Amino acid sequence: MLTYTLRRLLLAIPTLLLISLVIFLLVDLAPGSPASEIPLTVPPEVRAKILEALGVNEPVHIRYLLWLKQFFWVEPLNGFDAIFGTHYAEGMQRIISYQSRSPVFPLIGERLPQTLTVIGTAYLVGVLIALPIGIYSAYRQYSLFDQFGTMFAMIGFSVPTFFTGTLFIIIFAVWLGWFPTKYNTTLVVTDWASFKEQLRQMAMPVMVLGLANAAAISRYMRSSMLENMSQDYVRTARAKGMSERTVVLKHVLRNSLIPVVTVIALGIPSIFGGAIITENLFGVNGIGSALIQAIRGNDLPMVQTLAFIFAILIVTFNLIADLLYGMLDPRIRYD
């Protein structure tokens, strides 16, 4: 397992380098100029100087290599300095956002917590709703509950979040007045009251995204359960006199979870990617909306960096999913 992990990690290096090159070039070749964000009132020679200072005029391969160095060396050093109070990274040039002219990583650091709390909770809620629905739907296939579960999944799949989101806002915020319409990013949880307030403002985006997540995962869970329910070993467990509970929740579930856990693990990077539409709809000031702003403003370093971070997360969670598979299924050995 260890050698397998190391081999996979080594293999990830060329993969990620290639991805970084593609991302960098794609974003770089896209039409638009960083100069477009500079107000027209700025005189041309100042404009030229700003661009000069941003390093825009360097040839593309120089900018790529510099960005790589910044991403893999300067920024981690800065992170190290920030944690341990050292000064190794002093004087080194960091990845600078064209829009705010400040380093990209602290900007991402500001946005990430919002995304992780809201989208992460939504994912967790989605999984927690999906698993029981999937399990029980499969156990009582074609029952009323199963029909309901199927309908639930179909709605979650087919109705876009901008629609459910708006609907939720109208029903729960406008008509019923249970939850605030907008997410307040500045709220800091310090006591019970502010914690309750945080829960209230998270409720709607979490429900909207949770519904969408639960739809897919509940279907995976159901079909995986069904596949295992008719296996011979299930009959053996019944013939041994095991209770239905043990048969379903131990024998069948343990086997059915193997593919589902993989699917869940592969979905985790999407949490970090944020949910662009939902974040915008509820005013959650997270990564998703940061990405949209950066794309609109031709903020190439920001877009490149965010896209590459997602790529790293996806590669990492792919590896984690594979390792989990090996841990859950004794028939699979990596050596």
Partner 1 sequence: MAEGAAPVLDVRGLKTVFRTRGGEIHAVNDVSFQLRRGELLGVVGESGSGKSVTMMSLIRLLPSPPADIRKGEVLLNGRDLLKMSPEALREVRGARVGFVFQDPMTSLNPVFTVGDQIMEPLREHLGMTKEMAERRAVELLELVGIPDARKRLKSYPHQFSGGMRQRVMIAIALACDPDVLIADEPTTALDVTIQAQILELVKDLRQKLGMAIIWITHDLGVIAGIADRVMVMYGGQVVEQAPVGELFANPQHPYTRALLQTIPRINGPRETRLKVIEGQPPILSAPLAACPFRARCEYRHDACDRMNPARRPVDGRPVGQGHDVACHWQAPARVEAAHA
142: left (phi over 0), alpha (psi -120 to 50) or beta: left
Q: Using an 8 Å Cβ cutoff, are 122 and 114 in contact?
A: no
What is the residue type of 125? Answer: V
Shortest separation between residue 220's beta carbon and partner 1, angstroms:
18
Q: Which is nearer to partner 1, 197 or 329 (CB)?
A: 329
Q: Using an 8 Å Cβ cutoff, are 276 and 164 in contact?
A: no
Q: Which is nearer to partner 1, 12 or 328 (CB)?
A: 328
Q: Which is nearer to partner 1, 87 or 333 (CB)?
A: 333
Interface size with partner 1, residues (CB under 8 A): 21
Shortest separation between residue 150's beta carbon and partner 1, angstroms:
20
Interface residue with partner 1 among 173, 258, 268, 324 (CB under 8 A) is 258
Q: Which is nearer to partner 1, 196 or 254 (CB)?
A: 254
Q: CB-based contacts of 157: which residues, under 8 Å, 6+ apart?
A: 212, 215, 216
Q: Which stretch binds partner 1 (CB under 8 A): 76-84, 172-180, 280-288, 327-335?
A: 327-335
Q: Which is nearer to partner 1, 185 or 246 (CB)?
A: 246
Q: Using an 8 Å Cβ cutoff, are 221 and 262 in contact?
A: no
Q: CB-based contacts of 161: which residues, under 8 Å, 6+ apart?
A: 208, 209, 212, 275, 277, 278, 281
Q: CB-based contacts of 293: which residues, under 8 Å, 6+ apart?
A: 99, 299
Query: Residues 147 to 206: which contact partner 1 by CB under 8 A?
Result: none
d(CA 180, CA 203): 9
Interface residue with partner 1 among 146, 197, 227, 329 (CB under 8 A) is 329
Shortest separation between residue 134's beta carbon and partner 1, angstroms:
18
Shortest separation between residue 262's beta carbon and partner 1, angstroms:
14
The contact mask relative to partner 1 for 274-313 (x = CB under 8 A, - = no) is ----------------------------------------
Q: Does 335 bind partner 1 (CB under 8 A)?
A: no
Q: CB-based contacts of 45: which residues, under 8 Å, 6+ apart?
A: none
298: left (phi over 0), alpha (psi -120 to 50) or beta: left
Q: Which is nearer to partner 1, 292 or 328 (CB)?
A: 328
The DSSP line for 141-188 is TTSHHHHHHHHHHHHHHHS-HHHHHHHHIIIIIIIS--S-SS--TT--
d(CA 168, CA 122): 15
Instruction: Produce one character per residue of 66-78: b if its CB has 16 or more CB atoms within 10 Å, e if not.
Output: ebeebbeebbebb
Q: Which is nearer to partner 1, 14 or 330 (CB)?
A: 330
Shortest separation between residue 259's beta carbon and partner 1, angstroms:
12
d(CA 248, CA 147): 20
Query: Residues 197 to 256: which contact partner 1 by CB under 8 A?
Result: 231-233, 235-243, 246, 251, 254-255
**Rounded alpha-carbon distances, angstroms, from residue 218 to 32, 39, 77, 158, 256:** 42, 50, 43, 14, 12
Q: Which is nearer to partner 1, 196 or 240 (CB)?
A: 240
Shortest separation between residue 332's beta carbon and partner 1, angstroms:
10
Catalog residues that contact partner 1 under the rule CB under 8 A: 231-233, 235-243, 246, 251, 254-255, 258, 328-331
